[in-house]
Amino acid sequence: MKLILSILLAGLSTAGIAQDLPVSHYKIYSTSAQKIISEDDIVNDMANADVLFFGEEHNDSTAHYLELSLLKKLSEKYPQKTALSMEMFQTDCQLVLNEYLAGLIREKNLITDARTWPNYKDYKPMVELAKSNHLPVIAANAPTRYTNMVTRGGLDILKQLDAQAKSYLAPLPIDTATGAYYDKFAKIMGGHASMPGMQIYQSQNLWDATMGWSIAKFMKSHSSFKVLQLNGGFHSGEKLGAVAQLKKYAPKLRVLNIATYADDSFDNPNWSKFAGMADYVILTDPKLPKTF
């Protein structure tokens, strides 16, 4: 099975034309309809939405396949009206990304100058699909050097940046979105008592706010587009994080979200366990290989 999946994923063409992955490897559940659905159902639901957040586990090979499949289906249903937005590229690399999509620079320059993630191979088929079909790709994430600044000195330290640096970030001041999101963040950090201070949480908010702002800014001039946003699951689960930040910048945008897990309950899932996480919950077979 591992060999078969490896061959399948390796065979995704640079144009992003994927073969069908057996549905036995994943299950898609609609929390509103309370039933198993298909990718096509999600794409059809996008008729009444503007942005689809896909919350992934970064090493889940099946999730990457589904992201590519959804992007392909959206681009077919909304030709020249579909955009890909990615946590995996930082805002100060938008120019480099645009140059690659336009065929002006080589892939090796993209990888070096756009500081692609170590597992860029997992996202390459989507970038290549966008390139082949002339789809915009939004470099949505805050530059790491600025999130590191906030981790050390808090959000106020960003006031020291010049105008160009600030243009790569969501407008200051950044809303720290306390409440449910803060409690959730503190829990994964080991509890409120384990938090060394607010700076780490503030850097998380800078991340989220910049992704939300990047989408809002794009949609301001591309109001008829459908955007597929890729990010780690925590950033969009329960429509907190980047989803909540987006809604502050563009309250009229209609948002759907997906939460994806390689879960041990795959064979017999208790869907109610995941009901509050997203509009759609995708469980992938945990026995399948990870990409790293």
Is the torsion defined by CA of 16, 22, 26, 28 positive or negative? positive
DSSP annotation of 274: G
- Reading the block at residue 113, the tokens are 């100058």
Residues 6+ positions from 156 with CB-CB distance below 8 Å: none
Note the residue count of the chain: 292
pLDDT in tens, the chain (292 residues): 443 344 344 443 333 334 567 778 999 999 999 999 999 999 999 999 999 999 999 999 999 999 999 999 999 999 999 999 999 999 999 999 999 999 999 999 999 999 999 999 999 999 999 999 999 999 999 999 999 999 999 999 999 999 999 999 999 999 887 789 989 998 888 765 555 678 999 999 999 999 999 999 999 999 999 999 999 999 999 999 999 999 999 999 999 999 999 999 999 999 999 989 999 999 999 999 999 9
Q: Judge whether 206 and 169 are in contact, CB under 8 Å.
A: yes
- The stretches of 78-154 forming alpha helices (DSSP H) are 94-101, 107-113, 124-133, 144-153
DSSP assignment string, 177-197: --SHHHHHHHHHTT-GGG---
How many CA atoms does the CB half-sphere of 91 hold within 13 Å?
27
Is the torsion defined by CA of 246, 173, 238, 63 positive or negative? positive
